[in-house]
A and B are shown apart, each in its own frame.
Chain A
Amino acid sequence: MSAMSLTKAPIPNRLGLGIQQVRYLKRRPAYPQAYKPKLAPLSHPKKDHSSFFQRHLKEWLGPRNMRGEYYRNKYYYPPQDHKPRYIVPDGNTVVEDGKVDVYDNRKVGSDKRDPSLHPFPFNPYCKTASVIPSSLKDKIYEEVAEKGAHVQEVAYRYGIKIPRVEAIIKLREVENSWEQKNLISEELQRFSDVMYRMFPLYEPPVQAENLTEIPTPHKTLHQRFLTISESEPFGPVDAAKVFDLKPAQDILNDLTELKHDDNTESSHKEDLVIGKQVEGDRSLFKFTKSKSGEVGFRYGASRRDRKKDRKVGFDRTGSMVYI
């Protein structure tokens, strides 16, 4: 664990702690820290035994209307304007009657956080993806499936990665067949519309995905030391050579080159020997070539079938089999 270091331990924001450190404190209940909690009043001074958290939750949820909705809670209803409203823990969840709801997107938790993009207050690295507008999906489907454009071309044009473009086409085909069979019920359409309006919309030039991403080569995750003379120039190409990797420019060229998928696969014929069926033989024998170890059980090799943690896989019908 040398690559990572414990650098980002946050400075505790409670300054009231004593100088003496107490290690074995009893676990403290998860009281809110970022805001001053409001508590619902007790219904009876003696008979109401609701706890701190129950009272806080009641206040946090706000009043209910006759349909049982927390109608003044600003998180109760999902947003329907393609602008998510994730939580901002500032203690104000209830919009008071007669007041206009002003969405306060103060940066509580982390400075880097945008509450309409980052769902969690403490993790600015987690983002919601944007939904691709249905018009753009239609366009992509039309270009690829009907006009026969190359997937790579379309991916480059709209800044969407190739697997996603392929997935869009696959899903659009399912949608089309469902529409034809009239399987999309009114309720399902309603659900789909609500979900669609909940996420930010993808705008191609601004939010385009980076198409030059490659899996980080594991070799580059470790340090490598090399002795060179001070006057010797050393650039990225030399570094690639040291790591025994292709230079970045070459990989990029490979990526951007239009790949024509060859349908003319090498007509590899399996070697097949058919035995001779003489009179009186019940069956005809066929012999195909295979590698020992890949079929059947190798004599004398140890097998896992009696072990406790046997390796499992799934066959074509979806049932679990031991490998």
Chain B
Amino acid sequence: MPRKTKNMFSTARGRVRASMNKYNLFNLYKKPAINYQGKTLYQQKWLAKAETRAYHGEHLTESRWKELFKPNLESVAQLDASLKGVDVPETPLPLQTYAALEKRLEFALFRAMFASSIRQARQFILSGDVKVNGIVIKHPSFPLQSGDMFSVSPEKVLFALGRKKPSVEEAIRVDKKQIAAWNGYVSSAKSSPREVWEMKKTKPKSLDPFQDSVEDHKENVKKFNKSIEKNMTKTQRETSRESLLSDILSTASSAGGSESVSPDSFTSFNNTDRQKAFQVFNYLSDAKHELLDKFSVEDTKAFITKKSNEFATQEEAKLALHVKQILSELVKSRMEQIRLTAEEQKLPEYVTSLPYSPDFASNLTYHQKLDKDAIMEDESKAVVNLPWQKGLFGRQDPSKSYFTPWLPRPFLGCFAVLPSHIEVSFSTCHAVYLRDPIARPNQSEVVTPLPDHVHERAYMYYARKGL
């Protein structure tokens, strides 16, 4: 039985606990420096004992802890430094005061970040979710030895380190708000797309690393580039000798007669190609060819696909040969031109914002409203399909005990300390206990928020020699 507790995370008392609780972080954040001024030695030791015991095994009774306490503190000597004769930094030996607790299974579980507090680690052990070397151990006090492999069922770990799963009611409440906000955004985007686009661009960056990550941007840019490529191949496929010829002739006829046509009339071609297009026109107009009046794509195709021996006269065959030659040069240059413009339009990978396109608003669709009563009756009836969320908020898979899709619990980053004495594999929720934590010059492997001078006094309290 763990010790009974009341109001562990009192903000007024401000003790720091071995827990990933939000209030605990607040207490750690605002913790004043420990002050010994005006205190007798015994008062100092008492204060140090109270502060350290609040973090180290507060669930153990004092008599149990006194049984476990060992006055011999473990440290290591670094041979290379002593051989070189360099100055070795101080070894924080007092921080080993509570090292005896760290070999207990419950502590190792919390240090390996498989549970969000030591009390939760105890619950996992007692419910038979923890194995040591493949055997279910139901004793939180089980002492680990170096080389022991322990594991927790992944569901429990995801529950402990994940965000809290909302109830159906909460999820509906959140989704109603989200849908209302989305529909408002869609309607304003539809009414004034340019302004909304600009506003989106100037929006401050979110602190959430999961929201618009670099990968998302890269994905968007990739999609954009792909669509450009698709357009490019489409226009390239449409470009052929007959289409260009028909284009030239239609431009010429719209310019009106062979006298008023000049190289500059062919505006759809670039400067060097205009001459060639003009030459094609000249060839045909000099020969007074019938194509000058009938220049649909079918007619030009017939002209181009006709073989040289099928033409009525030798001159016409010769003319067709010249025209075809110039046209194939034009096609080649046009293809290159299309490719270059597409390359120019493409975005490099590091770009975070896409260029404005007026049809972005028309692609947005309103989301239908949620029917609360129907969803409360049967959760599977909920249809939520927002760009950032599929399924009910946090309940994509309601059978799981944690927020789905999984998200880390709030303020996890502040509590995540990778232990030096345990090797952890998060993808299988297994860990190997390498050794008992030790102290080495300038480092102590026992994780503790309290400074060495506090541990020193706590050690004195328990070693009973300083009394």
Known contacts A216-B75, A248-B79, A318-B137; is-contact A188 B207 (Cβ 8 Å): no
B37 A163 Cβ-Cβ under 8 A:
no
Complex Cα gap A8–B95 (Å): 14
Binary CB contact string for chain A from 243 to 262 against chain B (1 if under 8 A, 0 otherwise):
00000110110010000000
- Chain A residues within 8 Å of B428, by CB: 171, 174-175, 178, 183-184
What's the nearest-Cβ distance from chain A to residue B232, in Å?
A: 36
Residue on A nearest B456 in the bound complex, by CB = A4
Chain B residues lying within 8 Å of A122, measured Cβ to Cβ, are 31, 33, 449-451
Give every chain B residue within 8 A of A54 (Cβ-Cβ): 11
Decide yes or no whether A158 CB sits under 8 A from chain B: no
The answer on a CB contact under 8 Å between A78 and B456 is no
CB contact under 8 A between A131 and B207, given known A30-B30, A120-B28, A174-B430: no
Residues of B within 8 A of A317 (CB): 135
Contact residues in B for A80 (Cβ distance below 8 Å): 209-210, 213
CB-contacts of A180-196 with B (<8 A): 183-192, 194-196
Q: Which residue of B lies closest to A315 (CB)?
A: B135
Q: Which of A63-71, A267-275, A285-293, A294-302 contacts B (4 or more CB under 8 A)?
A: A63-71
Structural contact, B77 and A66, CB atoms closer than 8 A: no
Pick the residue among B27, B149, B408, B430 that contacts A30 (CB under 8 A). B27
Q: Say whether B358 faces chain A, with CB atoms less than 8 Å apart.
A: no
Bitwise, B37-49 to A at CB < 8 A (1) or not (0) is 1111101100000
Residues on B with beta carbons closer than 8 Å to the beta carbon of A231: none
Residue pair A314, B137 in contact (C-beta under 8 Å): yes
CA A123 to CA B445, docked complex, whole Å: 12
A23 to B442 alpha-carbon distance, docked (Å): 34
Among the 9-residue stretches B154-162, B192-200, B347-355, B359-367, the one with 4 or more Cβ atoms under 8 Å from chain A is: B154-162
Are B39 and A23 closer than 8 Å at their CB atoms? Answer: yes
Distance in Å from the Cβ of B274 to the closest Cβ of chain A? 51
Known: A87-B28, A175-B425. A126 touches B444 (CB 8 A): yes
Closest Cβ neighbor of B12 among chain A residues: A29
Q: Mark A40-70, 1 if CB is under 8 A from B, else 0.
A: 0000000000010110110011000011111
Q: Do B177 and A66 have beta carbons less than 8 Å apart?
A: yes
- B340 contacts A by Cβ under 8 Å: no
Contacting residues of chain B (60-82) with chain A, CB-CB under 8 angstroms: 67, 72, 74-80, 82
- Confirm or deny: A304 has a beta carbon within 8 angstroms of a beta carbon on chain B: no
Q: Indicate if the CB atoms of A60 and B29 lie closer than 8 Å.
A: yes
Tell me which residues across on chain B come within 8 A of A86, comparing CB atoms: 413-414
Q: Which residues of chain A from 133 to 187 have any CB-CB distance to chain B below 8 Å in the complex?
A: 161, 163-164, 166-168, 170-172, 174-175, 178, 183-187
What B residues does A61 contact at CB under 8 A?
22
Q: Which of B255-263, B326-334, B398-406 contacts A (4 or more CB under 8 A)?
A: B398-406
Within A90-130, the residues touching B (CB, 8 Å) are 93, 95, 97-101, 109-110, 119-123, 125-130
Compute how far the CA of A44 lies from the CA of B245 in the bound complex, rounded to whole angstroms: 81
Contact B14 A29 (CB under 8 A): yes
Task: Give the residues in chain A near B443, CB-CB below 8 Å.
Answer: 125-127
Whole-angstrom CA separation of A57 from B411 in the bound complex: 14
Is there an interface contact between B460 and A4, defined as CB atoms closer than 8 Å?
yes
Binds A, one of B139-147, B295-303, B371-379: B139-147
Tell which of A9, A100, A130, A196 has the most Cβ of chain B within 10 Å: A9
A98 contact set on B, CB distance < 8 A:
204
- Given the known interface contacts A21-B37, A69-B410, the answer about A191 and B79 at a Cβ–Cβ threshold of 8 Å is no
Q: In the bound complex, do residue B78 and residue A66 qualify as a contact, i.e. CB atoms below 8 Å apart?
A: no
Q: Which of B26, B206, B463 has the most CB of A within 10 A?
A: B26
- A99 cross-chain contacts in B, Cβ below 8 A: 204
Q: 1/0 contact trace for B411-454 toward A, CB 8 Å?
A: 11111111110010111111110110011101110111111110
B463 cross-chain contacts in A, Cβ below 8 A: 1
Residues on B with C-beta less than 8 A from A161 are 434
Q: Whose C-beta in chain B lies nearest to the C-beta of A122?
A: B451
Asked if B4 is at the interface of the complex by the 8 Å CB criterion, the answer is no
How far in angstroms is the closest Cβ of chain A from B417? 5
Contacts of A33 in B (CB 8 A): 32-33
Closest chain B CB from A21 CB (angstroms): 4
User: In the complex, which residues 160-207 of chain B have their Cβ closer than 8 Å to any Cβ of chain A?
Assistant: 161-162, 174, 177-178, 181, 204-207
Determine the chain B residues whose CB is within 8 A of the CB of A69 once the complex forms.
208, 410
Interface membership of A214, Cβ < 8 A: yes
Interface presence of A10 (CB below 8 A) = yes
B269 within 8 A of A: no
Are B411 and A76 in touch, CB under 8 angstroms? yes
Does the CB pair B452–A210 fall under 8 Å?
A: no
| Complex: A13 Cα to B34 Cα, angstroms | 10
Complexed CA–CA distance, A161 and B149 (Å): 17
Partner of A4, one of B74, B439, B448, B459: B459
Contacting pair A216 B76 (CB below 8 A): yes
A213 engages B79 (CB within 8 Å): yes
Q: Chain B residues near A248 (CB, 8 Å)?
A: 79, 82-83
A30 — nearest CB in chain B belongs to which residue?
B14
Provide the residues of chain A in CB contact with B44, threshold 8 Å: 6, 9
Map CB proximity to A onto B77-101 as digits: 1 under 8 Å, 0 otherwise: 1111011000000011111000000
State in angstroms the CA–CA spacing of A29 and B157 once bound together.
35
Contact B423–A164 (Cβ < 8 Å): yes
Is B405 within 8 A of A187, CB to CB? yes
Task: State whether A12 touches B35 (Cβ < 8 A).
Answer: yes
The verdict on A78 contacting B416 (CB below 8 Å), with A32-B30, A191-B158 known, is yes
Bound together, the chains give a CA A155 to CA B74 distance in angstroms of: 23
Q: Least Cβ distance of A205 to chain B in Å? A: 15
Given contacts A30-B27, A76-B410, A249-B83, contact A210 B78 (CB under 8 A): yes
Name the A residues within 8 Å of B444 (CB-CB): 125-126
Chain A contacts for B38, CB-based, 8 A? 17, 21-23
Query: Within the assembled complex, what's the spacing in Å between the Cα atoms of A199 and B419?
Result: 11
B234 proximal to A (CB < 8 A): no
Assuming the contacts A123-B451, A212-B80, asked whether A70 and B418 have C-beta atoms less than 8 A apart, the reply is no
Contact A214 B77 (CB under 8 A): yes
Known: A21-B38, A214-B79. A70 touches B410 (CB 8 A): yes
CB distance from B238 to the nearest CB of A (A): 43
The answer to whether B76 touches A76, judged by C-beta atoms less than 8 angstroms apart, is no
Q: How far is the CA of A73 from the CA of B431 in the complex (A)?
A: 32
A100 touches B204 (CB 8 A): yes
Other CB < 8 Å A-B pairs besides A4-B459, A76-B410, A196-B426, 16 of them?
A1-B460, A30-B12, A30-B14, A30-B32, A89-B31, A93-B29, A101-B207, A166-B432, A168-B423, A171-B430, A171-B431, A175-B428, A186-B405, A187-B406, A217-B77, A252-B80
In the assembled complex, 12 residue pairs joining A and B whose CB atoms fall closer than 8 Å, in A order, are: A10-B36, A23-B40, A31-B30, A57-B23, A80-B209, A130-B418, A171-B149, A175-B428, A187-B402, A190-B406, A191-B158, A216-B74
